[in-house]
Homo-oligomer: A and B are copies of this chain.
Amino acid sequence: MSKPLHERIRFDCEARILAGDLAPGDRLPTERELMREYGCSRMTVSKALSALAAAGLVVRRKRAGTLVARPRMHSMVLDVPDLAAQVRERGQDYRFRLLSRQVRPAREDRPEEALLAGNGAVVAIDGLHLADGAPLALEHRLVNAAAVPGIAGADFDADPPGTWLLRHVPWTEAETRISAAGARGDEATLLAAEPGAPLLCIERWTWRGAERITYVRQIFPADAYDMVARFGPTAAAR
């Protein structure tokens, strides 16, 4: 029914900041002042202001008080594409066409394979993401065979390799690189594009602790895909 008191206090303070009523550097009421204003205990006020601090809207300093933070926008939240879900959301038919899957020793002359598996084996997977039968993205993936035993025999009809991995390998870290590139001849053929045509290129390394799990490179024809990132003072920390 009614929101908890600490959420109401947080909301009220947030509203004053976002409306510009309080400018960056201005002081909010102290905890003791807010206790009186809302007729509540200090823990309740503290919870509200700590949440604002965690969200980056205020900075709290002893003696100085709680100050409206200077806005930053150094980072935004990037949606990681689940291609299958996105295609289906548009009412199209999603399919993953497996082009090849090999289990073989990592090639020393390929930096990604050496980084991934050292002297061990890699599972190399190439495939095409299709929307209503038309090529959406070409995917080249390498998986550390020792780290993910099940991958060699996994069935990618239901889930493409990325989704399969997300389900079977928990708690990873990842780094994504987004760039543009021109289509090579073989890539152009598979994507039904012209050689040299502009592509959006997404490369991602995924770790579990210190161990590299997988490397993937997905390329999209320029008109087939955009990535979207968002920033908001409220949503930034979520």
Distance A18 CA – B210 CA, assembled complex (angstroms): 12
Distance A181 CA – B78 CA, assembled complex (angstroms): 20
Residue A76 at the B interface, CB < 8 A? yes
Q: Which of A159-216 contact B (CB under 8 A)?
A: 166, 170-182, 196-201, 209
* A80 and B75 within 8 A (CB): yes
Chain B residues closer than 8 Å to A24, beta-carbon distance: 170
How far, in Å, is A180 (CB) from chain B's closest CB? 4
Q: Given A43-B43, A180-B198, A222-B182, do A175 and B73 touch, yes or no (CB 8 Å)?
A: no
Residue A99 at the B interface, CB < 8 A? no
> How many chain A residues touch the partner (CB < 8 A)?
52
Kindly report which residue of chain B lies nearest to residue A225, judged by CB atoms.
B179
* A179 and B196 within 8 A (CB): no
* B74 and A171 within 8 A (CB): no
* B73 and A229 within 8 A (CB): no
Q: Kindly supply a per-residue 1/0 record for chain A positions 70-96, scoring 1 wherever the CB is within 8 Å of any chain B CB and 0 otherwise.
A: 110111111110100000000000000
Kindly report which residue of chain B lies nearest to residue A174, judged by CB atoms.
B231
State the number of copies, please: 2
Q: Given A17-B171, A171-B71, A230-B176, do A196 and B196 touch, yes or no (CB 8 Å)?
A: yes
Q: Given A43-B43, A182-B222, A196-B196, do A175 and B230 touch, yes or no (CB 8 Å)?
A: yes
Q: Which of A207-238 contact B (CB under 8 A)?
A: 209, 220, 222, 225-233, 237-238
- In this complex, the member of A17, A78, A233 whose beta carbon has the largest number of chain B beta carbons within 10 angstroms is A78
How far, in Å, is A187 (CB) from chain B's closest CB? 12
* B77 and A179 within 8 A (CB): no
* B71 and A75 within 8 A (CB): no
How far, in Å, is A220 (CB) from chain B's closest CB? 8
* A78 and B77 within 8 A (CB): yes
Residue A39 at the B interface, CB < 8 A? no
* B20 and A174 within 8 A (CB): no
Kindly list 5 other residue pairs between chains A and B, CB separation below 8 angstroms, not including A74-B79, A175-B228, A180-B200: A73-B80, A73-B166, A76-B80, A174-B230, A180-B181
